[in-house]
Structure 1
Amino acid sequence: MISFGTDGWRAVIADTFTFANLRLVAQAVADSINETTDTTKQPEVVIGYDTRFLSDRFAIEVARVMAGNGIIAWLSRSDVPTPAVSYNVVDKKADAGIVITASHNPPRYNGFKLKAPYGGSATHEQSKRVEQKLQHMEMEGRGPNVMDYQRGLDTDMIRRFDPTWVYFQHISDLVNLDLISSSEMKVVTDAMYGSGRGALPAILARTRTKVTEIRGIMNPGFGGIHPEPIVKYLTDLTAAVQREQAHVGLATDGDADRIGAVDNLGNFVDPHHVFALVLRHLIENRGMRGDVVKTISTTYMIDKMCKAYDLTLHETPVGFNHIADLMMKRDILIGGEESGGIGVKGHIPEGDGILMGLLLLEVIAQANAPLNEIIEDLQRTFGPACYARNDVRLSKQLPKNVIVEKLQDTAPTTMNGQTVTRVNTLDGIKYYMADDSWLLIRPSGTEPVLRIYAEAPSHADVQALLAEGDKMGHSVIS
């Protein structure tokens, strides 16, 4: 059964993610596009892919199916960041975007991200429509319409192009490259062998920034790591920052829509801090205004900042698609999640690790201070805030709503010596304490795993909350 999650379809290569299944999914998307597109113009789709095994071949097959259904396929010439594909959907006024990528997942996975005409992820309704088309195809015993690749090129139904040109220009207009250039920073960029390779060095080549890129070659196995910019996979970046005596290290995930960083001392800078630093910069230094949106698992520093700056804060379930929905409906200044997907006003409603890396450089240049000192000032003003997450595998799986109801019924009055002031069941169950600390328990909907998040004034308090969350989670299963 092929089903779409919050950001498309992902599966193991050669298991479920096969050429045959991919062509079926592409046909379902083509059916949906042809059914909903204005008949006065020929529909168009922008297609990109990452550095994973066979991603380029998979992308060609998608283009062949689109062409076989009368849809012009703008196909990237090489691997490309997901945000570049998304921006080109808007720039070309295309009807959809498709990216062959499994983002930060292990190398054995590949995936199919579906983008809407506004450049963000397809809505839940759009994804469900594709799933329904798949079911109808199965019931009818109907296969995909596929055009020969060379014929597609000859008839201009398949158009190879470079999506990065207009994208680089657009995001360069969203940052102050002159300010960044004036600081003459040393920067290490880490593409983690993903499709963000070369992006930051190319943009910063127009400045006086000294850039060293690591893990920027094609390596479909990602050097034995997961291409996820979290501390356990960034030891190479930490070492490079220290070796180069750089001001900062910037890491993007497998398809460059997420950001992670390392400061001048080699300390990991998580997305919570990147989010908070950029928000403060946009307000205090750029004089920008607007609402703020964050997922339920994101730092309480954002809450404190919105209160201090008199900004309206929206909290959503986990998943950037929820943030994107609000970015299209309201005047959102910035929106972000703890996993590193962050988007800002003036851009598409999409997380963008490349843009956020550039904005972090702007933060450092504006402050004219080492990043570790900037973070210390942020913590003094809006902290202290320490954060950690554990994924706990359970002996058996229960429905997500059953686990949440049990946890709600047995909600404690105190945790880690602090009074529980309220409980939130927006996504999983979140307990708020009197000292601003919190614990979130989110059961996976697809596997027997509890995702346990905690934030508190000290690392010791965070670990104590995580331990309590572990016990609470196991107690409802036993």
Structure 2
Amino acid sequence: MSTLIDLYNKWLQQDLPPLLEKELTAIGTDEKAIEDRFYQYVSFGTGGMRGLLGAGTNRMNVFTIRRGAEGLARFITSNGEDAKKRGVAIAYDTRHFSFEFAVETARVLGAHGITSYVYKESRPTPQLSFTIRELNTFAGVVITASHNPKQYNGFKVYGEDGAQLVPTGANAIIQHMDEIEDIFAIATINTDILEQQGLLNWLSIDLDEKYMKNLLTLKENTNIDLNMKIVYTPLHGAGLVPVTDGLKQFGFKHVHLVEQQVVQDGAFPTVTYPNPEEAAAFSLAIELGQQVGADLLLATDPDADRLGVAVRSGNGYELLTGNELGALLLHYILQTKQANGTLPDNGVMIKTIVTSELGAAIAEQFGVTTINTLTGFKYIAEKIAEFEATKSHSYVFGYEESYGYLIETFARDKDAVQVALKVAEMAAHYATEGKTLLHALNELNEQFGYYEEALISKTFEGKDGQEQMKAILNHYHENIPTKIAGIAVTHVEDYLTGVVTLQDGSTESILLPKENVLKLVLEDCSWIAIRPSGTEPKCKFYFGVVKESAEQAKEAINILMKYFTS
């Protein structure tokens, strides 16, 4: 503890921003508070860092941002002068300090002679991905904590293909970060000097126009009801302009905005969690939907990479899960391409290992191959790049259960803007047949079976919590049950060892990167997956079943969940 106290005192001796100085002074001799802020650096997990805003090495602040930017700068420098000249595209969402952190990143990069291209205002994360590809930069950074509460922010790094970094690149940056001896000695250059030297360039609206031009290529179906009433909320985030402009240019005549949530505000004053996966985030949208008689409600998270959807059902609205919306989109896209004669013979759909198997069943019906990846859209993007190079498959759709989807590959990360437009088109198409998305989903269930999924997240805060989570994960890896709720385990997929163990004891190799994920598949095709979150201090338990009726599916999923929570 004495080492942490010394580190705490060293921070207090620096010329800190007033808010950071006030926070450190306020915790005084509270050893627990000091430990929580200084026992580690903010971890560089899924493509970057994400953490609480505040003072200390285990918080997101100007100094930990500089550390991440310095690691990135050294990585770029190691790739030569061309990489430095191509530079880095930088975007940010509407969170507290997002703009400041973006500029600070450019100041560190500039000290290494690396060019930055920075948006003047907030932009969606998928637009950052598009911008990297459009400008041919060597890397990209987006300042965001996605759908986390207002107390968080983050620093996410992208490669030259516009995708989040896979472990090889991320590990190289981490190594450079670990070599930094003094976080307070990281060099920066003032923005006015960088502008004069051409090392800081502010991006103009022509990139917005190019992004929109690509978005409009998503419109494939003219048999749609353009009078359908839509409610959209950006949840105080960056999706406002591209989603509303896109819907307008698609031809929709009745798009209603949740005015209280149009304001770009990092405090997210109308929601506790700005997360479209949460029903509470739709409360104002539902209220407006009732007033205007909307058929469809759309919500994007602060950086507009996740989309949530609610559909009119009787006198109220029903939220679709990420798995349900993914299945609907996949079926609609394949159906439309088949009708238009544009469905490729070697089509491929990519999903994650914790995403519903309904998508695989739908893809099979259309002769489309399903590829499973580890959790994280970076792995889906990696497969897209692989198939572009080998020409072995033609990408048609990719998704994950956590409300992330990608249709067209001009972006290489989940893109809620793309999907908002496509969902509106899909709902408007079914409207011409007198159906809602719920009707269409029920038809899929009747055809392919009733799939039900669930997720339990357990939070482990602080140093003690992290140790507890490691112990839980180790327990499951070392104590594999032969039966769960009376149903035999037919095979175990251990992604940490890269081995599948079958019921008879034989083994097979897993041809995916190694990660701390365990998946158990049961005799009745039910499955359970356990993994730590890459962005939050959580252990996640995923469940999936398929049965002949909705009632049977709900009963089966509840039995599995009870087994792991009792």
Change (3 A) 1:90 1:37: farther
Do the aligned partners of 1:407 and 1:429 also contact (CA within 8 Å) in 2? no
Trace 1:438-449 onto structure 2 (pairs within 5 A).
438-443=527-532, 449=538
Instruction: Give 1:242's match in structure 2, choosing from 290, 293, 311.
Output: 290
- 1:254-308 CA-to-partner distances (Å, cap 9, x unmatched) read 2111111001221001111221112112222112241122112111211211332
Return the alpha-carbon distance in structure 2 between the equivalents of residues 53 and 334 of structure 1: 34
Instruction: Give 1:397's match in structure 2, choosing from 469, 481, 484.
Output: 469
Instruction: Give 2:563's match in structure 1, choosing from 468, 471, 476.
Output: 468
Trace 1:191-202 onto structure 2 (pairs within 5 A).
191-202=234-245
Trace 1:40-189 onto structure 2 (pairs within 5 A).
42-138=85-181, 143-161=185-203, 162=205, 163-176=207-220, 183-189=226-232
Residue in 2 aligned with 1:225?
Answer: 272
Return the alpha-carbon distance in structure 1 between the equivalents of residues 139 and 153 of structure 2: 19
Return the alpha-carbon distance in structure 1 between the equivalents of residues 537 and 84 of structure 2: 47
Do the aligned partners of 1:257 and 1:352 also contact (CA within 8 Å) in 2? yes
* Structure 2: runs of 5 or more not aligned: 1-40, 388-392, 496-515, 548-552
Do the aligned partners of 1:113 and 1:121 also contact (CA within 8 Å) in 2? yes
Q: Rg larger in 1 or in 2? A: 2
Do the aligned partners of 1:248 and 1:371 also contact (CA within 8 Å) in 2? no
1:286 aligns with 2:337: yes
Instruction: Give 2:554's match in structure 1, choosing from 443, 446, 459.
Output: 459
Do the aligned partners of 1:300 and 1:436 also contact (CA within 8 Å) in 2? no
Return the alpha-carbon distance in structure 2 between the equivalents of residues 291 and 43 of structure 1: 32
1:311 aligns with 2:380: no
Do the aligned partners of 1:439 and 1:455 also contact (CA within 8 Å) in 2? yes
Do the aligned partners of 1:400 and 1:445 also contact (CA within 8 Å) in 2? no
Change (3 A) 1:35 1:237: same
1:23 aligns to what SS in structure 2?
Answer: helix
- 1:36-73 CA-to-partner distances (Å, cap 9, x unmatched) read 14539823211111111111111111122222222221
Change (3 A) 1:392 1:68: closer
Do the aligned partners of 1:439 and 1:454 also contact (CA within 8 Å) in 2? yes
TM-score calculated relative to the size of structure 1: 0.90
Do the aligned partners of 1:23 and 1:65 also contact (CA within 8 Å) in 2? yes
Residue in 1 aligned with 2:423?
Answer: 360
2:469 aligns to what SS in structure 1?
Answer: coil
For residue 325 of structure 1, what is the amino acid of its counterpart?
E
Return the alpha-carbon distance in structure 1 between the equivalents of residues 473 and 89 of structure 2: 38
Return the alpha-carbon distance in structure 1 between the equivalents of residues 534 and 252 of structure 2: 48
For residue 252 of structure 2, what is the amino acid of its counterpart?
R
Change (3 A) 1:189 1:64: same
- 1:346-379 CA-to-partner distances (Å, cap 9, x unmatched) read 4332111111111112222333232221222222
Return the alpha-carbon distance in structure 2 between the equivalents of residues 303 and 123 of structure 1: 25
Return the alpha-carbon distance in structure 2 between the equivalents of residues 239 and 437 of structure 1: 37
1:424 aligns with 2:493: yes
Return the alpha-carbon distance in structure 2 between the equivalents of residues 204 and 117 of structure 1: 30
Query: 1:89 offset after TM fit, Å?
Result: 0.4
Query: 1:421 offset after TM fit, Å?
Result: 3.6
Instruction: Give 1:277's match in structure 2, choosing from 328, 347, 364.
Output: 328
1:235 aligns to what SS in structure 2?
Answer: helix
Identity of aligned residues (%): 25
Trace 1:17-28 onto structure 2 (pairs within 5 A).
17-28=60-71
Change (3 A) 1:437 1:240: farther
* Structure 1: runs of 5 or more not aligned: 472-478
1:411 aligns with 2:482: yes
Do the aligned partners of 2:90 and 2:128 also contact (CA within 8 Å) in 1? yes
Do the aligned partners of 2:130 and 2:412 also contact (CA within 8 Å) in 1? no
| Root mean square deviation of aligned Cα | 2.5
Once the two structures are overlaid, the 10-residue window that deviates more, 454-463 or 37-46, is 37-46
Number of residue-to-residue matches in the alignment? 466
Query: 1:429 offset after TM fit, Å?
Result: 2.9
Do the aligned partners of 2:454 and 2:543 also contact (CA within 8 Å) in 1? yes
